[in-house]
Structure 1
Amino acid sequence: MTRPFALATLMACTAIPAFANDGVLDVVSPFEIASPDPVISGHIYQRMDVTETLVDADSNGKLLPGLATEWSASENGLVWTLTLREGVTFHDGAALDGAAVAKSLGRSRDNGGLLSKAPISEIRPSGDLSVEIEMTEPFAMLPAMLAEYRSAIIAPSTIAEDGAVTGLIGTGPYRVKDLSPPSKMIVEGFDNYWGASAAIPNAVYHGVSRSETRALMAESGDADITLYFDPASATRLSTAEGVELISAAIPRVLMLKINGETYDAPTRRALSLAIDRAGIAKAILRFPEGATQMFPPGMSDWHDASLTPLAYDPGAAKTALAEAGWAPGTDGVLQKDGQRMDIELLTFPDRPELPLVAAVLEQQFAAIGADAVINSTSFSEIPAKHSDGTLSTALFARNFALVPDPVGTLLQDYAPGGDWGAMGWHNDAFTAGVKALAAGTAPEGTRAELISTLHAELPVLPIAWYQLTMAVSDAVTGVTVDPFERTLGLSSVKWAE
């Protein structure tokens, strides 16, 4: 079935071959496949039902059995024991056992996975269908961290002696037939899957960076499931025939990360006053309002309605900057102690709204005396510049529920700081509070104190809250809108009758 948009036009505009309804389920997203390593590209593999985690989660964040059927901590909280599901095999035919799980989790911990943030002293098999994780201190967050995509279990045969991942072999209902980084992965149903077989046996993932191209593919019928659009494309698709635009509020926040060593708390608060969040939300994102604090109302345990909302007041911003010691130089740009306010707005086009928001921030910062310049490049530049200390600011979106508990993200981003979180900012009380929540030992009121600290010190500037928008062809049914962005329910998707 081909819809009104001519395929010849699509191909001419995109240089991507047409792949209309041919019995293959086509999934299109802006994100490139950088590596077979789940630590690097694992969110794609998890969404495509190739890899699985020991612990799963439902749409409310409740932890559920995954490759592990149950888990428990010892009385002193130092040893977690996980019982593995029987009858699970990897895509290469090897059995899932304690040794395989221990090797996969150990590799993730040692090579940048979220488990590196947990106080783990040893991961070991404790039987054919059991694994133990020993901690140096109690850590109640461990099961939630095991649900995150970087903790996906991959076959021992794909892990080299140096820890490098040499191929992508998981346990999911789909297995990889062909992996062609950076833009394509072909998968097929795995006949020996432990659960229900994939309803559609053949699927393809396409990494397509341009929002306009993805919208054309959705409109033409050459994509069955398409994720993330710029507002103009989403508006057009909302009235297109043969495609349904669906969305859901998600715990993702559009934010500006700021180098705290360059810009202290008074300066960060002044820059915050220069941002017209409501205008950005309505004009660019087509959302009803901007972020008034870090966490959106949907995160009821973390949203504090009593906080004074983040405001837009350029006049107050100029006054606050002057009070913080910033004064116009001979060229009119603010400077302090010989340092010009040169702000590099580092961002990336994979999320189409980011360059547009950066353009607005460039103007709004210029209006208060800063020399702001946009650098729209690869998303990998953000962690790279964080690591080498050269980052000025970075505009991106962060999902606080990639781990089905915001504490997991806070632990890696702000306690004391990480590639996608605070830079040049540290608060001992905040770090202690996050770690206490992770350990399950935090006193009452800890969460409120953490929320207040982020709001007062602004290590990052929240700009807008998010909705997940995807276009689904009327050729398929059963697509899942997951607020935690873990799954598309791909293996349960069926062709419409």
Structure 2
Amino acid sequence: MGWHRWRVAGASAVALLMIAGCGGAGNDVPAAKKPLKVVGQFEFHSLDPSTAGGVFTRLQVAETLVDADVRGAPKPGLAETWAASADGLSWTFTLRPGALFHDGTAVTADVAAAVLNSAQGKAGTPLATVPLKAISADGSSVRVDLTEPFAPLPAVLAHTSTQILAPSSYGPDHAVTQVVGSGPYKVAHIQQPADIELAAFEGWRGEKPAISEVTYQAVGRAESRALMAESGQSDVTFGMDPTSLQKIKQSRNLDIVDVTLPRTILLKANAGHEILGDVQVRRAISLALDRESMATALLRDPEMAATQLFPPSLPDWHQASATPLEHDQTAAKDLLAAAGWLPGSDGILERGGKKFTVSLRTFPDRPELPILATAIQAKLKELGIALEVKVGNSSEIPAGHQDGSLELALFSRNYALVPDALVTLAGDFAPEGGDYGPMGWNDPALTSALHVLASGNDAGQAAESRRKVTEILQTQLPVIPVAWYRQSAVVNTRVEGLVLDPLERSWRLSDLTWKK
């Protein structure tokens, strides 16, 4: 298509404004003929559904067998109906008739079963954790046989790693070489890791997108994304930092759309660490956090101060009766003193000749994380804890988990990556821990409660099992909640119809229209 793309990641504000000043070449083009310009923070270094993240489902290029509504309840995707056998060991997913891939080939049960069999063999994907016996084609249906009942299976088949791609997507070694999906938009051009051009798919049998061309650009710096929104270089901009949002609120050409997400910003502590393995130390760190002040000053949203791991946007898991996490610096100092940590001559806590020095890893993809890390560093310094903040790549957190070098990490965890939070929790809090779950910690009672929930045989005790999970996590603090999360997008007033998905499965670009 030859659409012109601005490359601004890392550009200075001056350079960006120069671009904006000379960027009017397309202003005389009727709106209906322009591509919708979308900017976000997520790069994609792989095309494989298991490692590309959700970019191709967010852009409505690829579909999964099952979709989900805004509350996480399953709804039809490529499968229009599904049912489980009486014993819960066999599920049948009947495909939507007439569905086509972007290369014109039919979406068949054979293709879908082959894709899912490939996905379940890839470590780290939710499907790999399901007690699978076999996945096969049965006429126009996909049949999934299990070794034991697993109630949240439909939610797993809504995860982005299970997106169904056409056989033409794969090379000779079965590596994904192009993304040929079945959604309302098809890929016209990709330049990894930051640029995608889309066109409306003429074979889509649902409601046709009102805007037929879309560009997506990943831009790493929040300041650059904000400048692109302000200068009109972006129509829809995701991943805005709180400071930029305050400034943008003054603009008459930009609107802000937001939604509370089932996502929590948390501190992951290495409970196998010689210092952090002490639950009293983890409780002291939690007590040191002035969550309300951080949420007010840094996130500009005091309601996002986390009093427990699960936010109110997860109503089945959020426990109104739970004793809230609080800020109490005196109590924190008392806990540390009881654990043998006393101030040294330089003010840093010491025990047995060893100073209380730990490191915290975080990353800038979500712009609020580095500033929250700095605030946490300041609060822990008041206790006498020397915290070294390392801002790097997000991949360093799972890598540090795997090699044992991680001490503390600050990141945000979306508990609805799979629409049923139970699936993510079962992976994160498995006995061996998870890349974004506990490290060096497990609790048999918690493991048992999650297993009972997954079996679907809880005999009406699901609410009690979820309460028990929250109680254990609130007491042991293998991960320390910091803040809940509100997603915001900046929308140019020339665009109408954006409604954010709280599950972040789709950006719903096909619903957008140009303002008349």
TM-score computed with the length of structure 2 as normaliser: 0.90
1:158 Cα deviation after fit:
2.5
Equivalent residue number for residue 6 of structure 2: none
Question: Is 1:322 paired with 2:334?
Answer: no
User: What secondary structure sits across from 1:312 in the alignment?
Assistant: coil
C-alpha change, 1:149 and 1:16, in structure 2 (3 Å) is farther
User: What secondary structure sits across from 2:491 in the alignment?
Assistant: strand
Question: Is 1:271 paired with 2:289?
Answer: no
Pick the aligned partner of 2:495 from 473, 476, 482: 476
How big is each residue's C-alpha offset from its partner over 1:208-254, in whole Å with a ceiling of 9 and x where there is no partner? 11111111111122111111211110011112121111111111111
Distance (whole Å) between structure 1 residues aligned to residue 245 and residue 328 of structure 2: 31
1:375 Cα deviation after fit:
0.8
8 Å CA contact retained: 1:188, 1:202: yes
User: What secondary structure sits across from 2:227 in the alignment?
Assistant: helix
C-alpha change, 1:10 and 1:271, in structure 2 (3 Å) is closer
1:349 Cα deviation after fit:
0.6
Pick the aligned partner of 2:376 from 330, 347, 361: 361
User: What secondary structure sits across from 1:39 in the alignment?
Assistant: coil
How big is each residue's C-alpha offset from its partner over 1:31-64, in whole Å with a ceiling of 9 and x where there is no partner? 1111111222231111111111111111122211
1:166 Cα deviation after fit:
2.1
**Residue type of the partner of 1:454?**
L
Distance (whole Å) between structure 1 residues aligned to residue 501 and residue 75 of structure 2: 15
The equivalences for 1:4-403 within 5 A come to 12-13=15-16, 18=23, 23-111=34-122, 112-127=124-139, 129-160=140-171, 163-262=174-273, 263-264=276-277, 265-289=279-303, 290-328=305-343, 332-336=347-351, 340-403=355-418
C-alpha change, 1:105 and 1:335, in structure 2 (3 Å) is farther
C-alpha change, 1:477 and 1:423, in structure 2 (3 Å) is same
**Residue type of the partner of 1:475?**
R
8 Å CA contact retained: 1:219, 1:241: no
How big is each residue's C-alpha offset from its partner over 1:294-321, in whole Å with a ceiling of 9 and x where there is no partner? 1122322222222221111122112111
Pick the aligned partner of 1:420 from 418, 436, 452: 436
8 Å CA contact retained: 2:81, 2:94: yes
How big is each residue's C-alpha offset from its partner over 1:12-35, in whole Å with a ceiling of 9 and x where there is no partner? 148978586660111111111111
**Residue type of the partner of 1:278?**
E
Equivalent residue number for residue 474 of structure 2: 455
8 Å CA contact retained: 1:274, 1:317: yes
Per mean C-alpha deviation after superposition, the further-off stretch among 417-426 and 274-283 is: 417-426
Equivalent residue number for residue 433 of structure 1: 449
User: What secondary structure sits across from 1:41 in the alignment?
Assistant: coil
How big is each residue's C-alpha offset from its partner over 1:336-366, in whole Å with a ceiling of 9 and x where there is no partner? 4665432211111111110000001111112
1:198 Cα deviation after fit:
2.1
User: What secondary structure sits across from 1:107 in the alignment?
Assistant: helix
8 Å CA contact retained: 2:16, 2:227: no
8 Å CA contact retained: 1:477, 1:495: yes
5+ residue gaps, structure 2, are 1-10
TM-score computed with the length of structure 1 as normaliser: 0.94
Distance (whole Å) between structure 2 residues aligned to residue 311 and residue 63 of structure 1: 36
C-alpha change, 1:303 and 1:16, in structure 2 (3 Å) is farther
* Percent of pairs with identical residues: 43
Say what the alpha-carbon RMSD is for the aligned residues. 2.0
Distance (whole Å) between structure 2 residues aligned to residue 11 and residue 239 of structure 1: 21
Distance (whole Å) between structure 1 residues aligned to residue 169 and residue 476 of structure 2: 44
8 Å CA contact retained: 1:227, 1:471: yes
Equivalent residue number for residue 3 of structure 1: none
Distance (whole Å) between structure 2 residues aligned to residue 345 and residue 15 of structure 1: 38
Per mean C-alpha deviation after superposition, the further-off stretch among 320-329 and 438-447 is: 320-329
**Corresponding residue pairs, total:** 489
